[in-house]
Structure 1
Amino acid sequence: MADPARARKLAVRIRQIVSAAIETQIKDPRLGMVTVTDARVTGDLREATVFYTVYGDETQIADSAAALASATGVLRSTVGRQTGIKFVPTLAFVADIVPDTARELEEALERARHADAELARAREGAQYAGDADPYRKPAEDDDEDDDDTVPSGTANDGAEDRAATRSVP
């Protein structure tokens, strides 16, 4: 198991080398506007996963994935030459879904802003259905010794009054 700091440094170096090699060495016409977003190396430094995004539609994404798969050997040998490590990690290319997720989140936030604006428009000029303060307030009696009775103005059948008089010890 290699040092995690060494794995991170190697991942950063692989990301730089692969992005530069895609720009300068790979001449595949299927390769679109590819941006290498991240690289991760396993703890034993044997495998590297390179994350990328492609600007374009689904066919350009699929074509770029095929071009990167066919150029894996060239890119791996370039990484080996430029890093100088004994065992060059195998490269696996994975399409990065972070931009898609960010776009979906932005759309969800926009829908929430729109719903808030509609609610604010509906709230304009509205009045409370009852009192401004809908919570009940305890009745303030002048008599402190009559605590067991039901406050005036509440509907009951008298059973509560009978129960209150019986439960007093």
Structure 2
Amino acid sequence: MLSHRINRINEEMKKALSTLIKNQIKDPRISELLSITQVDVTNDLRYAKVFISVYDDKEKQKDTLKGLESAAGLLRREVGKKIRLRYTPELLFEIDHSIEYGMHIESILKNINESED
């Protein structure tokens, strides 16, 4: 029962954060090429790790992370209003490198296939 509730909260927070970042946050440090890949809320609902993917260079990724961290209080308050939790988790942002890793593996496989031909 608890894991179903946590999964539902994860998805609701992911949707709410995506909408809020695109529509309300006007920080120039935050990249337009931002995607929230996953939200992991702890079982006690105190913290939420928000994994983001930025399709840009490393410097822009760092700037986007700083911009999101400075907007975390506003985002937390607005998410709390949207999903109506008794306690809104503290937002912790992290860069998700899984997409970059997948693209790297894909290029390796492509090179292997080309060398076999």
What TM-score range do you get, normalising by the shorter chain? over 0.9
What is the rounded CA distance, in whole Å, between the counterparts of 1:23 and 1:111 in structure 2?
37
Segments of 5+ residues of structure 2 without an aligned counterpart are none
In the other structure, the counterpart of 1:92 is 92
Query: Alpha carbon RMSD of aligned pairs, Å?
Result: 1.2
In the other structure, the counterpart of 2:49 is 49
Verify: 1:27 aligned to 2:31, yes or no: no
In the other structure, the counterpart of 2:102 is 102
The residue matched to 1:30 in structure 2 has which SS? Answer: coil
- Structure 1 runs of 4+ aligned residues shifted over 3 Å read none
Segments of 5+ residues of structure 1 without an aligned counterpart are 118-169
In the other structure, the counterpart of 1:6 is 5
TM-score (norm 2): 0.93
Higher RCO (CA < 8 A, seq sep 6+): 2
One-letter amino acid matched to 1:112: I
One-letter amino acid matched to 1:97: H
TM-score (norm 1): 0.66
State the Cα distance separating 1:50 from its structure 2 match: 0.8
State the Cα distance separating 1:114 from its structure 2 match: 2.3
Provide the identity percentage: 31
What is the rounded CA distance, in whole Å, between the counterparts of 1:58 and 1:97 in structure 2?
11
In the other structure, the counterpart of 2:81 is 81
Report the structure number with the largest CA radius of gyration. 1
What is the rounded CA distance, in whole Å, between the counterparts of 1:7 and 1:47 in structure 2?
12
One-letter amino acid matched to 1:58: K
What is the rounded CA distance, in whole Å, between the counterparts of 1:22 and 1:58 in structure 2?
20
What is the rounded CA distance, in whole Å, between the counterparts of 2:69 and 2:86 in structure 1?
23
Question: Which of the two has greater strand per residue?
Answer: 2
In the other structure, the counterpart of 1:72 is 72
